Amino acid sequence: MVPLPSPVPLLLQVAKRKLRARMRAVLQEISAESVAKQTQQVVHRLLSLPEYQAARGIGVYLSMASGEIATAPIVSHALAHGKRVYVPFTYESPAATAASVSSAAAAPARPRAVMDLVSVHSWQDYQQFQRDRWGIPVPAEGSIATRASCLAELEQKVAGEGARAGAGPLDLVVVPGMAFDAGRGRLGHGKGYYDNFFRRYQENQFAQDGREKAKMPLLVALALHEQVLAEPQTIPADHLDWQMDVVIVGDGRMLQASPEDRSPAPPTHGAQSA
């Protein structure tokens, strides 16, 4: 007899879907002028952060054509100031492929599509990225073998094509989201790409440096003020959802954790969240 799924995760997923639908309606009403104005405010605040200024390696989400804080100015500034810049690239997980042919009684499979962060060579390189159906600039799949990646799995996947050596450590990651709360909770777009990436990156750091010395990057989310829930509303979340260290908001607010609460990251954080 197959056990029935727990109602708690199902209720959580329903709550997340409802909040995403609500936020999509809100974001569709925000003018391009408002997004541009809030982007200017948020980017200025990010570039002023001492942690950003000291960072040598940063991850940056690449923004959609509308409805979120634009990140091209961050990529440009970071490259111009000699930082190593890494951007998202999604691909089919070898582990998920292997799991799909294993026994049904095996442990739950990893997501079929996962994300790594890969290096940007230059601003000119970035300008060659083609936009996908959401208007997000994406590095060409054929160029991935020339790029450093933050996780070993992607390098192993393309090793036969001459993959580059691994990336240096990440000091800061700029994270997108659909909604946030005052406690720096984050609702993603539902694929689990970032939560899964942070868990795998943490595992790599544990393996490389040990649990005591492992260091996670500062997780900085960027938000339009319409994306931040009014208190006492909170993001529906469980132990699989990573909390942000900092949320920079388009109305001038900056929600941040105390230094001792920032993310060396709790070991309970996990893989397949929304």
Proportion of the chain in helix, strand, coil states, percent, rounded to 5? 40, 15, 45
pLDDT in tens, 38-51: 999 999 999 999 99
CA angle 199, 131, 133 (to 5 degrees): 85
Whole-number pLDDT of residue 263:
62
- Taking CA atoms, 133 is separated from 74, 75, 177, 230, in Å, by 22, 21, 18, 31
For residue 159, the model assigns a pLDDT of: 57
Antiparallel, parallel or unpaired: β 172-175 and 179-180: unpaired
- pLDDT the model gives residue 258: 81
Predicted confidence band of residue 94 (pLDDT cuts 50, 70, 90): confident
> What are the pLDDT digits (tens) for 190-211?
999 999 999 999 999 998 888 8
pLDDT band at 164 (very low <50, low <70, confident <90, very high): low
Q: Report residue 102's pLDDT band, with 50, 70 and 90 as the boundaries.
A: very low
pLDDT tens for each residue of 108-159: 456 789 999 999 999 999 999 999 999 999 999 999 999 999 997 776 666 5
